[in-house]
Amino acid sequence: MAHKIAISSNSMEDALNKARRYLHADSIDQIDYEIAENDGSRIKILCCIKDTKSDTEPDHNGYFKIFYRDGFAYLIVYPPVGIGRPVYEDDVINRMKLLNIPSVSPLFIRDIIDRARQIPEKLAEWPMGAEFRANIGITVSEDKMSAIMNIQPPLRGGASPTADEILFAAEDYGICYGIDRQLISRIAEQHLYNEDFVIAEGLRPVAPIVNQINYHFDTDVCRPFLTDEYGRVNLKELNFIQEKKKGDVLADIADPKPGTDGIDVFGEIVPAEHPEQTVRLLPGDNTELSPDGHSLLASIDGYVVLHGSMVSVREVVHVENVDYSTGNIDFEGAVVVAGTVADGFTVKATDSIQVGSCVGKVHLESDGDIILKSGINGSGEGTIKCRGNLYTRFAENAHIETEGSFFGEESLMNCTTEVDRNLVLIGRRAEIVGGRTVVGGSIRCKKIGSAAGIKTPVCVGILPEKFRTIDNLQQRINDNKLMLSRLQQSMTNLTRDIQNGKITEDEAAENKNKILKVQYRFEDELRELERDYNDGKLMMQAENNRYVVAENEICQGTTVTFGKVEYAVINIDMSSIVLRYINERVIESGYDPQHLPECFGGHEQGDSV
């Protein structure tokens, strides 16, 4: 039997692991041992490499290993099996010469070979052997909260590092907290080289929770992507107008919670941040603070709104329908119409307007949002104007102006539509057909145009106000040209009247001077208007990073313009396409729901809706 070595430890498992590392065994299953002492607190075993030869095991030669550790060369000799060739001292001497190990007596080497104990035996001092050992590299993150180890394998003749050696390297670097000892043991046992391992992690500090405001109402009532199980916008479930009673708590201040300090991998305390932040409730219209100043209460019945950090309660009027029984409505507050607004009637409000049923030839105007839980078919006469967002299931044959965004479900058909921000249709059909659509931000829908080739002009990236300015200039130019044409006709009539003897030469001259003065004024004004018009056209440059997302298709007959840059669909329909305008170029790409622009809930840069 091979010579046994004594190993002591606190547990059997640790003793066997130490024996495995010392004997350079691949696993503890290769260790043969017997318990020499065990007093309950400490155990001592006598162990060696198992003799695995069996009666049927084939013969094989003996072999040896030389490795470096702590300034010395060590020799391990494994005896032959059966009639295999033994290790000779010349084998060892030649290897020592190759590794530049100082020579020792051949008899000393022979004694080690004869013993063949399969355990490391000190051979000679070998300072150069350090070049053969494994290189243990450690890097610490900038915040000192993690330490990463990467071990370069030893050269031939260098020993694999033990778990204790790896641990010592970490501790020598100064790492003393959060060390993953199980991982270090696995690295040593499995000889895991050329990989980054996080061997230590600090305890991150927990920031305190400072005073913060708890709102007792939904602060995001106009979420545009609240959909049902069929992926359709469910406007009926959106709680746009949240009503409160007098005395209801609208908001209060939550109690602060202290933070906890952390510890980095060097064992240093990382203090938690202690921001000096205090919040206070800002009472708006029709609200009041509780006596202790920690709660905000409604002082009237109404609906709650949040502007910035200020909470207000606005008056709200409820009507069943707007018709001859109510007359037109012009209200400082919000208006909720349970039914519909009859043709020819007007509803104006300083806050939101909400209508439950479909409307037609009406005029709706709001300084806030307008919510049509059904839709509008304006028959060419219905108009909608709002400074906030417009939410509707569909819109047909209407004139629409919104300074916010347009959120719809089914369709936008044959409408003159002007949207300052984004236009989003995400229902089952979600199509834009006909009309004229101008959007300052971006567009997302399923389909633009129709199979019938209906002309559908869409302009993106320029605020509608600029178009209105250009259209106004064009109208004034046309009016001036018409006036100049009439003045010229008046001059012709004067000449004819002189010839016919209807007026005298003196009378004609006086009238002619009057006409010329007016003509000169209109000509000057026309030149000024044409100059402004041309300058304005030059300024019709679309904003960068504007998108048109057509999830299904863009049909023939559709023209998409980004300012002066035009994208026309002439011969074939374009399927599932995204158009992006950047640096005066339109870039095409396929539609990918996982990579939408940020303005439509994705990760690209854009205006948030």
pLDDT tens track for 377-390 = 999 999 999 999 99
Q: What pLDDT is stored for residue 153 in this prediction?
A: 86
Instruction: Check: CB of residue 335 under 8 Å from CB of residue 341.
Output: no
Kind of pairing, strands 406-413 and 390-402? parallel
CA angle at 379 for the pair 424 and 449, rounded to the nearest 5°: 40
Start-to-end C-alpha separation, the chain: 80
Q: Is the pLDDT of residue 48 over 50?
A: yes
Whether the per-residue pLDDT at 55 is higher than 60: the answer is: no
Tell which wins on pLDDT, 239 or 21: 21
Query: Which fold, 214-260+278-312?
Result: OB fold (Dihydrolipoamide Acetyltransferase, E2P) (2.40.50)
DSSP state string for 328-346: -EEESSEEEESS-B-TT-E
CA–CA separation, 419 vs 105, rounded Å?
A: 95
Short-list 346, 317, 344, CA closest to 329: 346
pLDDT at residue 278 is higher than 80:
no
Query: For the chain, which residues make up each domain, given as ranges?
Result: 1-14+25-52, 58-132, 133-201, 214-260+278-312, 405-462+541-609, 466-538
Which backbone phi and psi does 164 adopt, to 5 degrees? -65, -40
Pairing verdict, β 558-562 and 456-460: parallel
User: What gap in Å lies between CA 93 and CA 331, rounded to an integer?
Assistant: 105
Amino acid at position 48, single letter: C
Closest of 597, 607, 232 to residue 444, by C-alpha: 597
Predicted confidence band at 234 (pLDDT cuts at 50, 70, 90)? Answer: low
Query: What local confidence, expressed as pLDDT, does residue 605 receive?
Result: 35
Inter-residue contact 445 to 423 (CB < 8 Å): yes
Res. 236 pLDDT band, cuts 50 70 90: low
Torsion of CA 398, 404, 405, 408, to 10 degrees: -50
Average pLDDT of the segment spanning 238-258? 80
Give pLDDT, residue 608: 33
CB 54 within 8 A of CB 71: no
Band (198; pLDDT cuts 50, 70, 90): very high
pLDDT reading at 556 higher than 50: yes
Mean local confidence (pLDDT), 316-336 = 91
Compute the distance between CA of residue 41 and CA of residue 47 in angstroms, rounded to an integer: 20
pLDDT score of 342 more than 70: yes
Name every residue whose Cβ is closer than 8 Å to that of residue 292 and which is 6 or more positions away in sequence: none
Decide if pLDDT at 292 tops 50.
yes
Rounded Cα–Cα distance for residues 600 and 296 (Å)? 34
pLDDT on residue 61? 85
Contact 201, 178 (CB under 8 A): yes
- Separation of alpha carbons 241 and 338, rounded Å: 12
435-475 residue pLDDT tens: 999 999 999 999 999 888 899 999 999 888 888 888 888 99
pLDDT at 224 over 70: no
* Mean per-residue pLDDT over the chain, rounded: 84
With CA atoms as reference, report the closest residue to 90 among 80, 82, 79, 98. 98
Q: Is 308 or 596 the better-scoring residue by pLDDT?
A: 308
Dist. CA 586–CA 570, nearest whole Å: 16
**pLDDT, tens only, 521-550:** 888 998 998 888 888 777 778 888 899 999
Phi (first) and psi of residue 287, to 5 degrees: -135, 160
Query: Does the pLDDT value for residue 1 go beyond 50?
Result: no
Of 217-231, 439-453, 479-493, minimum mean pLDDT range: 217-231
Measured torsion, CA atoms of residues 232, 237, 239, 240, in degrees rounded to the nearest 10:
40
Min mean pLDDT across 18-27, 166-175, 332-341 is at: 18-27
pLDDT at 225: 45
The mean per-residue pLDDT over the stretch 11-39 comes to 78
| pLDDT above 60 for 482 | yes
Of residues 370, 543, 367, the one with CA closest to residue 441: 543
Give residue 15's pLDDT. 82
Which residue, chain included where needed, has tokens 């049902």?
Answer: 228
Residue 354, CB half-sphere, CA atoms under 13 Å: how many? 19
Say yes or no to pLDDT of 238 above 60.
Answer: no
Q: Residue 418: pLDDT band by 50, 70, 90 thresholds?
A: very high
Query: Letter for the amino acid at 352?
Result: S
Is the per-residue pLDDT at 162 higher than 80? no
> Which CA distances in Å does 118 have to 1, 123, 161, 274, 281?
11, 14, 18, 61, 79
Number of neighbouring beta carbons within 10 Å of residue 386: 24
The domain at 405-462+541-609 falls in which architecture?
Answer: 3 Solenoid (2.160)
Q: Pairing mode, if any, of strands 436-439 and 416-419?
A: parallel
- Residue 510 · residue 549 · CB < 8 Å: no
Q: Tens digits of per-residue pLDDT, 56-98?
A: 556 778 888 787 777 888 888 888 887 788 889 888 888 888 8
Measured at the CA of 201, the angle between CA 199 and CA 207, to 5 degrees, comes to: 170
Please indicate whether residue 395 or residue 48 has the higher confidence score (pLDDT): 395
Torsion of CA 52, 53, 57, 61, to 10 degrees: 100
Q: Which two tokens stand for residue 193?
A: 């080289």
User: For residues 560 and 580, is the Cβ–Cβ distance under 8 A?
Assistant: no
Query: Which two three-digit tokens encode residue 375?
Result: 């839709």
Residue 235 pLDDT: 59
- Residue 72 C-beta-side C-alpha neighbours within 13 Å: 8
Give the mean pLDDT of 570-575: 73
